[in-house]
Amino acid sequence: MADAPLLYEIGDDGVALIALNRPERLNALTPELIDLWERALVAARADPAVRVVIVTGAGRGFCAGADLRPAAPGAAPAETDNSPAARRNVLRYGFHRIARALRLLDKPYLAAVNGAATGAGMDMASMADLRFASETARFGMVYMKIGLVPGNGGAFYLPRLVGIPRALELIWSGDLFTARQALEWGYVSRVYPAEELMPAVRAYAQRLAEAPPVAVQLAKRLVYRSAEVTEDQALDLAQSALAIVSATEDAIEGRRAFAERRPPRFLGR
C-alpha cells in the first residue's frame, strides 16, 4: 500500500528496497514503522532472490529519529509506567529490534541518505554496511540537545566509523553536519546531487548483486567478526570461510570464466 509507513519491494535484479514512508514527519520512527522494518529485514534475509538491500527515506528526509508526538499515527498507547526499566524496554523491544535483525543479515545493506538523518535516524544510518548521501543530506547526533544520550546504538557504531574523538565531539555537541563533512570524515562513502543519489546507489547495488553471493556474504561476516577477535582467531575464521567458498559452484565458474576470458555468471551455489 502506497500509504503504508514502510514500503518493501524486490526488483528483478536481486535488489530489495526498503523505503521509510512517513515523509510528512521526515520518516520519524513509530512502533508500527519499526515492526514493518524488522519484517522487511527478516524477509530479505530469508529470500534467496534478494542479494542486496537498500534502505532510504521518502520525501526530503531519511529519518528524523523517534516521533516524539504523543498521538503520532502508529504510536503505542501512552505509557503509564515511566520507570527506568520501562524506558529500557521501549528500546529493547522496540528500536533495537532493527540492530538485532541486521546482525543476522549477511547480505549487503546500503543506506541511501536522501535528507536529514538525526538522532535515532542517524543511528539507523550508521547500522548500514555503506552509506551514500545526497548533497542535501544532514546528519546529527542531536540527543544532547534534549538532554539524552545515544540510545539506538550510536555509541557503538559511530566510533567504529569516525574514531572515538570525532564521535565524542559529534555526540557532545549535537551539532548538524553536512554530507561533504561526512565524506571527509569517512562516515559516508560517496556524495551525489539529489537527483543522482538513487540511480547511483541502485547501480552500485546491481553490481554487488551480480557478484558471487556466497562469497559476498561470507566476506561481510568475516570483516565484522574479525573486528571482534584476535589476529589468530581472525586467521582461523578466514581459513574456514575460504574452505567453504572454494567449494561452491560459483568459485568453479569464476575460475573457468577467468580462463575463458568471459564474464562469469554466478548463481549463488
The answer to whether the predicted template modeling score (pTM) of the entire model surpasses 0.95 is no
Strand-pairing partners, residue 16, are: 10, 53
What is the spatial distance between Cα 42 and Cα 61, in angstroms, rounded to a whole number? 24
The residue with cell 503504508 is 4
User: Contact 159/105 with Cβ under 8 angstroms?
Assistant: no
pLDDT, tens digit only, all 269 positions of the chain = 578 999 999 999 999 999 999 999 999 999 999 999 999 999 999 999 999 999 999 999 999 999 877 555 555 545 566 788 777 887 888 899 999 999 999 999 999 999 999 999 999 999 999 999 999 999 999 999 999 999 999 999 999 999 999 999 999 999 999 999 999 999 999 999 999 999 999 999 999 999 999 999 999 999 999 999 999 999 999 999 999 999 998 899 889 888 989 988 898 88
Question: All domains of the chain, ordered by start, with CATH?
Answer: 6-209 (3.90.226.10), 213-260 (1.10.12)
For residues 98 and 37, give the distance between their C-alpha atoms in angstroms, rounded to a whole number.
Answer: 7
Residue 86: the pLDDT is 77
In whole angstroms, what is the distance from residue 110 CA to residue 127 CA?
Answer: 9
